[in-house]
Every structure is written in structure tokens, then in C-alpha cells.
Copies of this chain bind each other. A is one copy, B any other.
Amino acid sequence: MQGALGSGADPTSIVAHLADRTAKVQNHYPGALAVDDFLARVEVALAAYGFRGDNSLALTNVCRDESTGILKAKIDEIFGQAFNINGLGGVVTCGVTGIGAGISHAPIDPSGRERYVFFAFPHAAVDEKGEPASIYRPGRAEKSNACGALLFAVNAVKEGGIEEDSAGEHDPKEPEGSILISRIKEQMRMEKADPKTIDVVEMTKVSYSLLRNCALCCTSSRVPL
């Protein structure tokens, strides 16, 4: 969350501003946490199970948008350079070979155990007026979108519905975009979501469920590399 407060601002105003921004984010995404808060909880919780920066490897799956780099950099600070499974809208396209590579790179402890931490997230903006998907990027006066790929998916299902696509086919000019939408449709069929009424906030939640399923599917189909 970025605010408009200068460095000389009254600390009380900063706290009030951040509380207001948090409320506007949680209005759309209940339970959302600020990134430092979230990662501190993750680090402490995983430390209880023996996961540390020097004995674990993270696999990070976030959208390609550079605005997700802030989160990725903070994960790298805790667990070292992560294996990167980024895709548009968080779609996992690296397959069993990609996941298989990622889960064969961690340090091996004396008992033979390897430790991996999967981070998989869609991303979403909420601007200071509370509008979802609205983001202002440095040096650009016009409003931009996040996640653009999920807005693309909203339009695709509103126009084209959620009928099943042929497995193993993609648009050669849009490999990831078409695979993302095909999987979004599958998830929406499972959830019985209505393509006519879906908005970007609901699509973000569909994407969240989808990429958890994708990651589970890939890891359960692991092949040695």
C-alpha cells in the first residue's frame, strides 16, 4: 500500500492513513495483511518446524507484474534466492519438469530431508479511494490496472463463457494468457461461478483457489529431472 504522505508527516496521521488504507483493502479482501506482518508470521511459524533461511528453498509464484517484486524481494531476504514459477495472473505453466527442478535444489540436511516453501499468490490493487484493481505507477499520470491478466480473464469469460476448452491447446501468440483462461474456466465450473456477473475481486479469489490447485497438481506429479 502506497500513501501520499511526505516524510515530514505527523506520525499520528501516518497511523490513521495506514489504518484507513488497510480497511479499504480488507473491505474487498477480508483478512489481508501487510507484507511485513505476513512474512514475519510465516517466518516464525515455519521456524517452529525447522525451516530456516540456510536450510530451505522457496518457490515463488506471483504475477509477472513488477509491482509483485516488492513481495518477492522480501521472501528472498528470508529464504535466499527463490526458484521462480511466476506466470501471468499467477498461472503455473512450468509443469512437472519445472516443479521437479525447483524441488531438487534445496540443501539436504544430515537426515536426508529437503525443505521447500511454496509461496503462491494472485495480486490485486486497491487504490486510496477504495477502488479495486486501480494502481498508479511511478512516473505515469494515468491510472493503471492490477492484475491486468485477471481483468483480461474477466472480459474473456463474460464474452466467451466458461465452456471446457480442448486440453493441450493454446493460442500461439498468447500461450500463458490462453492457458490461464482455460484453467480459470475450469475452476469457475468447479465453483459454479457465474461468468456474467463476475468482477475482478471475485476473479482474484477464483485465481487464488486455482493456483493452489495447480501447485498441488504439479507437486503430486513430480518427475525427477
Contact = CB atoms under 8 A, between A and B. Distances in A.
A149 B76 contact: no
Contacts of A140: 105-108
A88 B87 CA distance: 11
A101 B175 contact: no
A140 B95 CA distance: 24
A174 B73 contact: no
B64 A98 contact: yes
Chain A, interface size category, equals: 35 or more
Given A64-B98, A70-B81, A81-B70, A105 B144 contact: yes
Copies of the polypeptide in the assembly? 2
Contacts of A170: 168-170, 175, 179
A167 interface: yes
A100 B161 CA distance: 24
B84 A69 contact: yes
A139 B137 CA distance: 40
A151 B138 CA distance: 40
A165 B139 CA distance: 43
A206 interface: no
A32 to B, nearest CB: 21
A159 interface: no
